[in-house]
Amino acid sequence: MQISLSPANLQSWTGSVLVVCLLEGDLETCLDQLEARCGGALSPSIKHQNFKSKAGDVASFQLLNGNPDKLVLVGLGERQNLKLDDLRQAASHAARASIGNEGTLGILFPWEALDCGAAARAIAEGVRLSLYKDQRFRSSPEPRSKPSKLELIGLPESANDQLKMVQPTCAGVELARELVAAPPNSLTPLALADTAAQLAKDHGLELSLLGKAECAERGMGAYLAVAQGSDLEPKFIHLTYRPTGPVKHRLALVGKGLTFDSGGYNLKVGAAQIDKMKFDMGGSAAVIGAARSIAELRPQGVEVHIIVAACENMVNGSAVHPGDIVKASNGTTIEINNTDAEGRLTLADALVYACELKPDAIVDLATLTGACIIALGEEIAGFWTGDDPLAEGLSHAANSAGEGLWRMPLHSAYRDGLKSQLADLKNTGPRPGGSITAALFLKEFVEASIPWAHIDIAGTVWSDKGKGINPAGATGYGVRTLVNWICSHT
């Protein structure tokens, strides 16, 4: 989809679908202009559709003169409450109303009420991401037409700077969605590594891939213990983005990359939704998606490392026994009392590897615990960090991206729950506070001097029904937050 600003106005714009976003009270002042534009009386139909410009109100009109083919009114609610997220919601309504129409979609909205660049970006991202549909696995794609062009009407040229971020950012989000949605017989650890290799080749990133033997040489006994139960080889992926100019900040992103999580011998049963566990590589999808975006945006002054210890958690004859003791690459021994707490084992070695790069900060993303879903639901991810400036930076990045993110306590007293009689640590503690002990487990593998944050995306990675700009299925959560966070370092 092409995206641009249009210098036209309500009367002069031409295209196939015109969307007018209205604040409460603005319909009355606009009605004459709208009727002049559409050459007919709209009032009876507006009443009939019960459109009052409240947030979420939508009314649409098929126009007989075909100029445009369709007029859509979208309500934004009260001016004093207007937030970027209301524009994203409005964009999702506009996008849905435009399906079935080819040609140009034009959107007119009250950008003066907000920062116009941020508003343009929110609308444009909202439209493109709402129109996304994954047809890769159908034998023949469902016929579905949608606009090929989006025009934001009447905004000043200054909005262009932020608008330029939209296509690269959305390409990253869509890559993440595709990776997460791909079934586990297609998206294997090798396929994930191939995706990284293709990305490196197409967008000038550096790639280093470690196989099983190289990981063993590095002593990655926690990661390899998880991988050993699968017939598929593990792949340790390290992508690097280097800016052309001088480097001011060096950042590392680590993503959990379980292409399938059966639970191992502490097998997932009952309500554990084993059939969804292809999404257990959502953290890796977010960091690889962000790499895709960053590679295209090419921010100055910031070097970014993307690290994924990819494998499957399966139950062949060589799989880990509950009770096995393994050693991670920093020398820590771990008693695996639950093979279903595998993500933290793979992340342990990935975090040790990330620390060896001596970055200025590390952020990991992982579909780590069901407990985090219970705590925060499907619209908010939890994050843990001991570093207040990093917390501030991530919260700000998520907030401007419109991705829910809430800081959780890294309560060190709960570390006791991970004490093992035999080894340095157990991999799981008691059920209460399960997402906190998971974060505390990860902390054991991060050098204390390096600011680090862990984001649990177990709830946000997937949306059964879809919501707002996320169609049903994989959300691509995290990419937009990471892109904002990385770009805030330039």
Q: Which residues are catalytic, by number?
A: 268, 344
The answer to whether 115 and 69 are in contact (CB under 8 A) is no
> How far is residue 117 from each of residues 122, 261, 296, 399, measured CA to CA in Å?
9, 41, 19, 16
Q: Which stretch binds Zn ion (CB under 5 A): 151-159, 213-221, 277-285, 478-486?
A: 277-285
Q: Which stretch binds Mn ion (CB under 5 A): 109-117, 158-166, 339-347, 371-379?
A: 339-347
The answer to whether 21 and 110 are in contact (CB under 8 A) is yes
Residue 338 interacts, among Mn ion, Zn ion, ligand BES, none and using kind-specific CB cut-offs from 5 to 8 Å, with ligand BES
Residue count, binding to Zn ion (CB under 5 A): 4
Q: Does 24 bind Mn ion (CB under 5 A)?
A: no
Minimum CB–partner distance for residue 316 and Zn ion (Å)? 17
Query: CA 170, CA 189: separation in Å to the nearest integer?
Result: 24
Find the binding residues for Mn ion in span 342-361 (CB under 5 A).
342
Nearer residue to Mn ion within complex by CB, 86 or 261: 261
> For Mn ion, what does the binding mask look like between residues 190 and 219, x meaning CB under 5 A?
------------------------------
Other residues' Cβ atoms within 10 Å of the Cβ of residue 34: 20
Residue 369 interacts, among ligand BES, Mn ion, Zn ion, none and using kind-specific CB cut-offs from 5 to 8 Å, with ligand BES
Residue with tokens 């340095």: 424
Minimum CB–partner distance for residue 392 and ligand BES (Å)? 27
Residue 264 interacts, among Mn ion, ligand BES, Zn ion, none and using kind-specific CB cut-offs from 5 to 8 Å, with none
Nearer residue to Mn ion within complex by CB, 7 or 323: 323
The answer to whether 31 and 17 are in contact (CB under 8 A) is no
Minimum CB–partner distance for residue 134 and ligand BES (Å)? 20
Minimum CB–partner distance for residue 458 and Zn ion (Å)? 8
Q: Does 312 bind Mn ion (CB under 5 A)?
A: no
Residue 299 interacts, among ligand BES, Mn ion, Zn ion, none and using kind-specific CB cut-offs from 5 to 8 Å, with none
Minimum CB–partner distance for residue 369 and ligand BES (Å)? 4
Nearer residue to ligand BES within complex by CB, 121 or 454: 454
Strand pairing class (235-241; 249-261) = unpaired
> How far is residue 259 from each of residues 1, 181, 186, 314, 357, measured CA to CA in Å?
30, 11, 9, 10, 25
Nearer residue to Mn ion within complex by CB, 366 or 425: 366
Minimum CB–partner distance for residue 304 and Zn ion (Å)? 25
b/e code 74-106 from CB counts within 10 Å (16+ = b): bbbbeeeebbbbbbbbbbbbbbbbbeebebbbb
Residue count, binding to Mn ion (CB under 5 A): 3
Q: Which residue is nearest to Mn ion (CB)?
A: 340
Query: CA 107, CA 124: separation in Å to the nearest integer?
Result: 9
Residue 174 interacts, among ligand BES, Zn ion, Mn ion, none and using kind-specific CB cut-offs from 5 to 8 Å, with none
Q: Does 280 bind Zn ion (CB under 5 A)?
A: yes
Question: Quick one: tokens of 426?
Answer: 């157990």
Give 299-332 as a DSSP string.
-SSEEEEEEEEEEEE--STTSPPTT-EEE-TTS-
Minimum CB–partner distance for residue 436 and Mn ion (Å)? 17
Nearer residue to Zn ion within complex by CB, 59 or 258: 258
Query: CA 149, CA 118: separation in Å to the nearest integer?
Result: 20
Q: Does 364 bind Mn ion (CB under 5 A)?
A: no
Strand order in the sheet with 17-23: 2-6, 149-153, 104-108, 17-23, 70-77, 58-62
Q: Which stretch binds Zn ion (CB under 5 A): 101-109, 147-155, 193-201, 261-269?
A: 261-269
Find the binding residues for Zn ion in span 288-347 (CB under 5 A).
343
Side-chain-side CA neighbours of 268 within 13 Å: the count stands at: 18
Contact residues for ligand BES (CB under 6 A)? 261, 280, 338, 340-343, 367-371, 373, 428, 434, 458
Q: Which residues contact 478 (CB under 8 A, 6 or more apart)?
A: 176, 282, 283, 286, 287, 289, 290, 365, 381, 403, 455, 457, 460
Residue 410 interacts, among Zn ion, Mn ion, ligand BES, none and using kind-specific CB cut-offs from 5 to 8 Å, with none
Minimum CB–partner distance for residue 256 and Zn ion (Å)? 7
Query: CA 388, CA 390: separation in Å to the nearest integer?
Result: 5
Residue 371 interacts, among ligand BES, Mn ion, Zn ion, none and using kind-specific CB cut-offs from 5 to 8 Å, with ligand BES
Residue 167: its H or E element: helix 166-181
Query: CA 309, CA 355: separation in Å to the nearest integer?
Result: 14
Find the binding residues for Mn ion in span 250-289 (CB under 5 A).
261
Question: Quick one: tokens of 396?
Answer: 């700000």
The answer to whether 76 and 58 are in contact (CB under 8 A) is no
Nearer residue to ligand BES within complex by CB, 261 or 312: 261
Minimum CB–partner distance for residue 189 and Mn ion (Å)? 16
Three-class SS state of 190? helix
Among 125, 151, 340, 364, binds Mn ion (CB under 5 A): 340
Residue 407: its H or E element: strand 404-407
The answer to whether 383 and 458 are in contact (CB under 8 A) is no
Q: Does 261 bind Zn ion (CB under 5 A)?
A: yes
Residues near Mn ion (CB under 5 A) are 261, 340, 342
Residues near Zn ion (CB under 5 A) are 258, 261, 280, 343
